[in-house]
A = this chain, B = another copy of it.
Amino acid sequence: MSASQRLDDLGISLPEVTKPAGAYLPAVRSGSLVFTAGQLPVVAGALAATGKVGAEVDAGEAAGLARTCALNALAAVHSLVGIDAVRRVVKVTGFVASAPGFTDQPSVIDGASALFGEVFGDAGRHARSAVGVAELPKNSPVEVEIVVEVETTTEVS
């Protein structure tokens, strides 16, 4: 089943591509790899939450925000090559704005990883790093970037 069919079955519509926060692009392709920009949990143009995970934001809420970041990452990929050109998710890096003593970054970024599994099945399984950082842009609790492998024989932008 194609990724776009799975998204339909899941009742998920990819959002509009989030406007970059600076002088860069949402995603860039080089050969068969697409690198996305770091994605914030933006919904309809605004951050869904702000603050540090382990303080203003709890781990469960943060996992939901990581899922939103992941959706925005897929939107960025889709805008560049079309979601059905994705052969697999290769690498996910999750940055969690962490209050002192918060060390459960993996459960937060699992929110992103789970989405990729739902949409791509086994092809959504990826290598991943999750780290706790001091501050993120606009006081976002989470930022996620991905690398995906895409078809290069099909017509892509």
Contact of B132 with A133 in the complex, beta carbons under 8 Å:
yes
How far does the Cβ of A94 sit from chain B's closest Cβ, in whole Å? Answer: 9
Contact partner, A135, options B32, B101, B117, B145, Cβ 8 Å: B101
Q: What residues of chain B lie closer than 8 Å to A126, measured between beta carbons? A: 24-25, 28
Provide the bound-state CA to CA distance between A100 and B98, in Å. 12
Provide the bound-state CA to CA distance between A134 and B102, in Å. 9
Name A20's closest neighbour in chain B (CB-CB): B128
A131 at the B interface (CB under 8 A) = yes
Beyond A105-B136, A131-B135, A132-B134, list 16 extra A-B contacts (CB 8 Å).
A20-B128, A22-B110, A22-B113, A23-B117, A25-B128, A31-B32, A31-B33, A35-B90, A35-B127, A35-B147, A36-B127, A37-B128, A97-B132, A131-B143, A132-B135, A132-B137
